Amino acid sequence: MGDLSGKTAVVTGSTSGIGLGIAKVLAARGANVALNSFSDTESDHAVAAEVAKLATGGARALYVQADMSDPEACVRLIRKAEAEFGAVDILVNNAGVQFVSPVEEFPVAKWDQILAINLSSAFHTARAAIPGMKQRNWGRIVNIASAHGLTASPYKSAYVAAKHGLVGLTKTIALEFAEEKIKATCNAICPGYVWTPLVAGQLADQMKAHGMTKEEVLEKIMLARQPSREFATVEQLGGTTAFLCSEDAAQITGTTISVDGGWTAL
């Protein structure tokens, strides 16, 4: 599905979890990939080297450090990818952080951080990448939102607000592409619970906190709102992203695709 040879993708927040899963699939489909995180360690560059081994058709991968809470760093990320590969054809806004607290106790600094990374960074990277997409008359922007971009949960005010905002930004960019007759699309993927190293690491803590078995935690705590009672996988998120980047999806724009085991169908 979807040969992406000759295309270049930037995937924010991509040294682990969903972002890394997406980067691997895009590289395997032939796209150059710029991976990103806020740190700059040997392991970060090693992850990019591993992704490069999966690349086909002569595609390459590199790591670019950029703090997604910093607007200027967001722009530098796009410019670095353009300088290295010649263009940014695909932008996947995946970077995100979470914090849980009642509204009246929610730290203002945490609110600002979550809005900056989960929402504003997508605006800044898109703002930097769109002119090149217009010039080449082709582009794909995929925003990794969440089931929480379509519904809500208590104690996650900043995350829910940011993801709802990301869905709105997605629709606006899509309409601007369409009205200007640009062969570019913008869509949002809304995952439910996805099996990642972070989630796996939380499992033992949840078992201890609730005095439950692994199976009980999965069914009654982690997957309580996901009717399939199964986690989505990072590979499935990568495949969905690759589809949206393909020509088969050229008329899919301004919409959300839920990968949530039926969560938002309830």
Question: Please, where are the H alpha helices in 180-224?
Answer: 197-210, 214-217
CA 87 – CA 41 distance, rounded (Å)? 25
Query: 63, 155, 159, 193: which is the annotated catalytic residue?
Result: 159
Q: Residue 35's closest CA among 119, 95, 83, 86?
A: 95
- C-beta neighbour count of 225 within 10 angstroms: 16
Q: What residues are paired with 32 via a beta bridge?
A: 8
CA 178 – CA 205 distance, rounded (Å)? 47
Q: Are 28 and 54 in contact (CB under 8 A)?
A: yes
Residue 170 identity: T
Q: Are 4 and 31 in contact (CB under 8 A)?
A: yes
> What's the CA angle centered on 96, arms 220 and 70, to 5 degrees?
160
Q: Using only C-alpha atoms, what is the Rg of the chain?
A: 18
Q: Are 166 and 188 in contact (CB under 8 A)?
A: yes
Q: What residues are paired with 11 via a beta bridge?
A: 35, 92
Residue 202 identity: Q
3-state secondary structure at position 66: coil
Q: Is 63 a catalytic residue?
A: no
Q: Cα–chain-centroid distance for residue 53?
A: 22
Residues annotated as catalytic are: 159
